[in-house]
Structure 1
Amino acid sequence: MFTSTLLAAATTPLQWSPTVGLIIILANIVAIVIGKSTIKYPNAEPRLPSVNFLGNFGLPALLASTAFGHILGVGVVLGLHNLGRI
């Protein structure tokens, strides 16, 4: 029953475009800024090679914030697609 409800709510497929990529990049930047101010130990081991470029993040903080950024970006892309803006 859940599958039929899910299929009924499906929209037209979304093709990748540079706009989608830009939205995901911006969402990741926002997530890194949020992560920088909220993660308790942002520079936990293992360290990354270019710490100044990545906000002095360790690998766990970078993976966590970019994973959040992708979730945030996908939500924005799907929302804009559902509204017909993309």
Structure 2
Amino acid sequence: MLTSTLLAAATTPLQWSPIVGLIMILANIVAIAFGKSTIKYPNAEPKLPLVNFLGDFGLPAFLATTAFGHILGVGTILGLHNLGRI
């Protein structure tokens, strides 16, 4: 019963394209920028080796913001695909 319901709700498969990759990159950049301004302790240990690129960002904050960025990116990509834009 559940399988037939899930199959009925499925859409056409989404093929990867450079637009999909660009949306995911932009979503992660937005999430990192949001995280830099809202995380209480962004420089928690262990530190990242890319201090010049990411600023004073620790590994926990970086993993949290990129996980959030992937959630934003997947939602955006699937939403645009559902609307027929990509």
> Do Structure 1 and Structure 2 share a fold, with TM-score over 0.5?
yes
1:84 alignment counterpart = 84
1:40 alignment counterpart = 40
Maintained 8 Å contact 1:44/1:59: yes
What stretches of structure 2 of length at least 5 have no aligned partner?
none
What stretches of structure 1 of length at least 5 have no aligned partner?
none
CA distance in 2, matches of 1:63, 1:12: 31
| Identity percentage of aligned residues | 86
> How do 1:6-85 residues align onto structure 2 when only pairs under 5 Å count?
6-85=6-85
CA distance in 1, matches of 2:74, 2:2: 22
How many pairs were matched up?
86
TM-score between the two structures when normalised by the length of structure 1: 0.94
TM-score between the two structures when normalised by the length of structure 2: 0.94
Displaced runs of 4+ in structure 1, greater than 6 A? none
SS in 2 for 1:41: coil
CA distance in 1, matches of 2:58, 2:20: 27
Q: CA RMSD in A?
A: 1.0
**Which structure dedicates a bigger proportion of its chain to helix?**
2
- Superposed CA offset, 1:19-47 (max 9, x none): 00000000000000111111111000000
1:51 CA drift (Å): 1.3
1:50 CA drift (Å): 1.6
1:52 CA drift (Å): 2.4
CA distance in 1, matches of 2:53, 2:3: 44
